[in-house]
A and B are shown apart, each in its own frame.
Chain A
Amino acid sequence: MAKKKIRKTIEDINRKIKLGKVVVATADEMVDIVKKLGPEKAAREIDVVTTGTFSPMCSSGAFINFGHTQPAIKASRVWLNGVPAYAGLAAVDIYIGATEPSEDDPLNRVHPGQFKYGGGHVIHDLVAGRKIDVRAISYGTDCYPNREAKKRISIADVPYAMLLNPRNCYQNYNCAINLSNKTIYTYMGVLKPNAGNANYATSGQLSPLFNDPYYLTMGLGTRIFVGGAKGYIIGPGTQHNPFAERGKNGVPLTSAGTLMVMGNLKEMDPKWIVGASMLGYGCSLAMGIGVPIPILNEDMARYAGVSDEEIFTQIIDYGKDYPKGEAKSLGQVSYADLKGGTVRFKGQDIPTVPISSYFRAVEIAHILKDWIEKGDFLLTNPQELLPTVPLFG
């Protein structure tokens, strides 16, 4: 890489935040700023770019310590509002996963199943301050003789409730169509037959990892917006794959990087962490995440200035190819087309349907911008960056 003309550190930016002199732009605003000023001038002017995404993110869940009972129990199986939680941990520690359905859910026995209540809804109810029924059973030990305990808890009562999501914030995601001749029900939503609609996710130019495609500023310890509170990136998410094919601008053309994130559930807001039901697929959790991108130099300005026209994804058939495990690209489309309302496929205009909320992503980027401008949110230096690949050029 050529020597950089502009050099800023996280400490420089934090100093400006504390003095109230920081200049923040959302990733949407940054597109025009970089177009107008060029990356070098933009990097001189802008200190932080805020991003946002709001979408069902299945690989989510929470560690909860529900507090000791009297007599004491070493819980071996636990249900929260009838939803099984993982209890293979210390006495009253559990992990509730977002996609775990209620134990008596009929699932897909009557297809498409409705999946009305699951782990994501439990987490949502907790964050919303609602009471939750806990049932725990055990085999009994000398130190923990209790074999069954029931209690009602709320987020305020429990000693500890930490959201810890193993894989969130996919850098890019498939555009899903259905080439079979019947309607299918997927994690990408309802797909009508014969390419009746094209569903897509991510917030495009506003999405966190599209604005730092090589993960040069984020890793373990990066402070972010999670579910309405301050949280952290704690490492690469499961399936983090920096080796995906990339365009000339460094932006991956298929799903690539992912984040593992955490945040204190007690500080979150139910607007930004919502239980979700994907018809015929299962339960999930719709998460709001925003990552601040420090504009340390002109390269970061250029990356954060990326626009929907320059971000592409692949059309994948979820009717036949994907379920067989033989997903292949049937064409490449830009996020500008996807957001525009139709994509061209085999000479036909297919209506596009978002599964992520761009509207809410914009709101997140603005909230984060506001926090930073007010001095309520300082940037952090990651202790270890996410795995990446050598840069182009």
Chain B
Amino acid sequence: MYSKILALRFPKKMVNEPIAATLVKKFDLSFNILKAVIYPRKEGLMVLELSGHRKNFLEGLRYLKKIGVLVEDISHDIKRDDEKCFQCGACTAVCPTGALYIKRPEMEVIFDKDRCSACELCVLACPAWAMQVKFDRSILY
């Protein structure tokens, strides 16, 4: 079983394409959509967790790239500035996936990139502005 949270960006001509359905039917992958936005200029962004056999996963990825979808590993886009983070834990109140959690008994606040869905709720909830989500939105414009 292989699983990864990916950001898919597609140009406006592709918004009508049933991408997720194809991934399920043709490549036997399962998905969990964490975020889906269509921007004013009709370009789309979808964040999903894609799971299945590694071989199928890679083939699915090849399919996406072939049809012109830009695929990014989400963990590259999200950072915690450890200089700024003062380890309070306020972010854990809003994190829906448990990517931000408290390691006990040390009470250390951990950020597990691999579980982050880039919902951005922590960005504002953090008193120290330590969470940075940097989507490269340039391809959308």
Question: Is the interface on chain A under 10, 10 to 19, 20 to 34, or 35 or more residues?
Answer: 20 to 34
Number of A-B residue pairs having CB atoms within 8 Å of each other in the complex: 76
CB neighbours (8 Å) of A357 from chain B are: 86-89, 107, 109
Residue numbers in A under 8 Å from B106 (CB-CB): 359
Instruction: For A55, give the chain B residue with the smallest CB separation.
Output: B88
Tell me whether B34 is interfacial, beta carbon within 8 Å.
no
B125 and A189 form a contact (CB under 8 A): yes
Query: Does A175 reach chain B (CB closer than 8 Å)?
Result: no
Residue A387 CB within 8 A of the other chain: no
Residues of A within 8 A of B92 (CB): 351, 353
Q: A351 to chain B: which residues have CB within 8 Å?
A: 92-93
- Of residues 354 to 372 in A, which have CB atoms within 8 Å of B's CB atoms? 354-360, 362
B127 part of interface (Cβ distance < 8 Å): yes
Which single residue of chain B is at the shortest CB-CB distance from A116?
B129
Let me know if B8 is at the binding interface, CB within 8 A: no
- Measured in the bound complex, the distance between the Cα atoms of B127 and A197 in whole Å is 17
Judge whether A339 is part of the interface by a CB distance below 8 angstroms. Answer: yes
Q: Are B93 and A353 in contact (CB under 8 A)?
A: yes
Produce 1/0 per residue, A274-303, CB < 8 A to B: 111111000010100000000000000000
Are the C-beta atoms of B93 and A190 separated by less than 8 Å? Answer: yes
Set of chain B residues within 8 Å of A274, measured between Cβ atoms = 84, 86, 128
Given A116-B129, A274-B128, A359-B108, A197 and B93 contact (CB-CB distance below 8 Å): yes
Question: Is residue B19 within 8 Å, beta carbon to beta carbon, of the partner chain?
Answer: no
Q: Is A332 an interface residue (CB 8 A)?
A: no
Q: Is A56 positioned at the interface, with any CB of B under 8 Å from its CB?
A: yes
A340 within 8 A of B: yes
Q: Within the assembled complex, what's the spacing in Å between the Cα atoms of A158 and B37?
A: 50
With a cutoff of 8 Å between Cβ atoms, the chain A residues found around residue B124 in the complex are: 112, 114, 279
Q: Does A192 contact B (CB under 8 A)?
A: yes
Q: Is A341 at the interface (CB under 8 A from chain B)?
A: yes
- B residues less than 8 Å from A191 (CB atoms): 93
A171 at the interface (CB under 8 A from B): no
Q: How far apart are the CA atoms of A355 and B128 in the complex, in Å?
A: 12
* A313 interface residue (CB < 8 Å to B): no
**B88 close to A286 (CB less than 8 A):** yes
Indicate if B94 sits at the interface (CB-CB under 8 A): yes
- Are B94's CB and A359's CB within 8 A? no
Q: Is A50 part of the binding interface, using a Cβ–Cβ cutoff of 8 Å?
A: no
A residues bordering B, Cβ < 8 Å? Answer: 54-56, 112, 114, 116, 189-192, 197, 199, 274-279, 284, 286, 339-341, 351, 353-360, 362
Shortest beta-carbon contacts, A-B, top 8: A358-B107, A276-B127, A354-B89, A353-B93, A359-B87, A357-B87, A189-B90, A357-B88
Binding site for A on B (CB under 8 A): 84, 86-90, 92-94, 102, 104-109, 124-125, 127-129
26 sample A-B contacts, Cβ–Cβ < 8 Å, listed by A number? A54-B87, A112-B124, A189-B90, A189-B125, A189-B127, A197-B93, A276-B127, A276-B128, A277-B127, A279-B125, A284-B127, A286-B88, A286-B127, A339-B104, A339-B107, A340-B104, A354-B88, A354-B107, A355-B90, A356-B88, A357-B87, A357-B88, A357-B109, A358-B107, A359-B106, A359-B109
Beyond A276-B128, A340-B104, A341-B102, 11 extra complex contacts between A and B, CB < 8 Å: A112-B124, A116-B129, A192-B93, A274-B86, A278-B127, A279-B125, A341-B104, A353-B92, A355-B88, A359-B106, A360-B86
